Amino acid sequence: MKHSEIEQKQLSFLQDFINKTDPDLGSIPKEAGPLRQLARKLFNRLRTPVRFIVAGEFSAGKSTLTNMLVGKNLIPTSVLASELPPLLFRYGATTQIAAGWWDQKKLIPVKGVDFDAAVKMDPDFILVTTPNPFLKDINIFDSPGTSDPLSDDSKMQHLVKSSEATIWCTNAVQAWRESERYTWSSLPAINRKNSILAVTHTDLPAVKRGIDRVMARVQKEAGEFFKTIVPVAAPKASRAAPDGVIQDKEAWAEYGGEAIFTAIREIAEPIREKKLADATAIIESQLVPFFEGLKHRDSADGAEGNSKAAPVVSSKGKEMSGVEHTPVSASKMSKQPLELKAVDAKAQTEVPEPPLLAEWNSKTRDLIATIEKSDDPDVSKLIQSSCDIVMEMTDTLTLIDPQTPEIEWVTTQFQEALDQLFLMQLETGEEPLETTTLLLLQLSRDMEQATTRANISRVS
């Protein structure tokens, strides 16, 4: 089954779960609450496009490249670049802008795509929507050149935290300077992992003459830090594709338009695959058993039609509604609302868990239970506790000898989660506890995968 079909099925299951666990329907066990929230979170996660931040030093060509990617010269030259806050580009039926603040959910629409008027409101960011289909899967954040991504500027911190991939712009005239290398190395691992280096201004005659030398040097000095290095000349590429429609194929390829879109897709695809696989694992282990229990209970009450579940697709693409899961009664689930998949699976097959996985699952389960139980949770303390257990396990994983590719992979997943949790300590963002729970559950799944594949059982 194709990625998009599986995604659609999971989305309809989640939508169904959310509808059928609505407390207003009455007779819904109150334990459904946290699972309903989890379903909402997964639904939003699956529907959120992959977010790329365009970063780099002052005047590196970030906004010009962003304009090319969204297929329109939307970023004004009338407003001084230094005055512009971060610009978030998303898909919308019409081209509109709105002023936004990170800590408020409200956006204030600004009439007539008037950036000056938006800037006067002193927003944390300006949201730009435009009907480019590319933006349905990818969101682009243009960062302001004067902001140091490492500064205490909370606008910038939030922007970096909100993105999953980076396009770093470096001017070919002085490509990959020492200061860039320094800033880059201090960015969170998650932003550095999925990254493209766009070498801009490659159409300038002086650059063009020595382009092979420039690219060879950049490759040598920065190759290890980026998935791909792409030479671009965004103004020329834009001219080859007015309004995002390619008119001059040759020029589009020559000026890097094609290469940068390919690089973006190659980075976005695995991120989307992982999101879907993670969501599928959580749906299978947490939501399906509860939903089946609900159905079972309702059919015992003679009200089966009320909670007929949409089919769920397992990670292998097979339909599994009511087939692979033993129905769990709602009252049983109530005691373990967020039971981990690894524990469930082992209980069914009675195969003992590898000790490292068991250790991680036990710590995670305790912490999630604490999160679930607290009526008035101390958010920062709980994030700190999550950081502690993730850090401990990261240390344990790094000590494993020999280091197999599976161990290295799962260690990277833990390091990335740690980066995200560190940033959440600085700025919690929306629904911090749900995000934390989700991160821990994903790590459980990663651990299960790695321990199964690599047979990691102990630190030697």
Ligand X SMILES: Nc1nc2c(ncn2[C@@H]2O[C@H](COP(=O)(O)OP(=O)(O)OP(=O)(O)O)[C@@H](O)[C@H]2O)c(=O)[nH]1
Burial of 136 (0-12, 13-18, 19+ CB in 10 A): exposed
Name the segment binding Mg ion (CB under 5 A); options: 27-35, 54-62, 347-355, 384-392: 54-62
Alpha helix (H) ranges present in 88-201?
A: 115-120, 134-137, 154-162, 178-185, 189-193
Among 34, 123, 145, 188, binds ligand X (CB under 6 A): 145
Q: What is the largest distance, in Å, between two alpha-carbon atoms of the chain?
A: 79
Quick check: 149 binds ligand X (CB under 6 A)? no
Quick check: 81 binds Mg ion (CB under 5 A)? yes
Q: Mask 180-219, x = binds ligand X (CB under 6 A)?
A: --------------------xx-xx---------------
C-alpha span between 99 and 109 (Å, rounded): 6
Among 29, 34, 49, 61, binds ligand X (CB under 6 A): 61
Cβ-contact 401, 132 below 8 angstroms: no
CB of 220 to ligand X, least distance (A): 22
Per-residue tokens: 87? 């610009």
Quick check: 391 binds Mg ion (CB under 5 A)? no
Cβ-contact 218, 176 below 8 angstroms: yes
| Pairing relationship of beta strands 195-200 and 165-171 according to DSSP bridges | parallel
- 3-class DSSP state of 26: coil
Among 3, 5, 12, 58, binds ligand X (CB under 6 A): 58
Among 10, 63, 170, 436, binds ligand X (CB under 6 A): 63
Q: Look at phi and psi of residue 429 and say left if phi exceeds 0, alpha if psi is from -120 to 50, else beta.
A: left
Residue 344: phi, psi to the nearest 5? -60, -50
Residue type, 307: S
CB of 63 to ligand X, least distance (A): 3
C-alpha span between 162 and 149 (Å, rounded): 13
Name the segment binding ligand X (CB under 6 A); options: 54-62, 376-384, 408-416, 430-438: 54-62
Among 32, 38, 53, 60, binds ligand X (CB under 6 A): 60
Residue type, 350: E
In the numeric block, the tokens 């969101």 are attached to 139
Quick check: 234 binds ligand X (CB under 6 A)? yes
Quick check: 16 binds ligand X (CB under 6 A)? no
Q: Of ligand X, Mg ion, none, which one does residue 298 interact with (CB within 5 to 8 Å by kind)?
A: none
Nearer to ligand X, 17 or 184 (CB): 184
Nearer to ligand X, 144 or 293 (CB): 144
Q: Mask 71-90, x = binds ligand X (CB under 6 A)?
A: ----------x---------
Name beta bridge partners: 166: 53, 195
Cβ-contact 100, 163 below 8 angstroms: no
C-alpha span between 175 and 220 (Å, rounded): 12
Q: Of ligand X, Mg ion, none, which one does residue 309 interact with (CB within 5 to 8 Å by kind)?
A: none
Q: How many CB atoms lie within 10 A of CB 142?
A: 31
Among 10, 21, 63, 442, binds Mg ion (CB under 5 A): 63
Q: Of ligand X, Mg ion, none, which one does residue 325 interact with (CB within 5 to 8 Å by kind)?
A: none
Per-residue tokens: 289? 């058993």
Nearer to Mg ion, 85 or 337 (CB): 85
Quick check: 59 binds ligand X (CB under 6 A)? yes
Contact set with ligand X (CB under 6 A) = 56, 58-64, 81, 144-145, 200-201, 203-204, 232-235
Contact set with Mg ion (CB under 5 A) = 62-63, 81
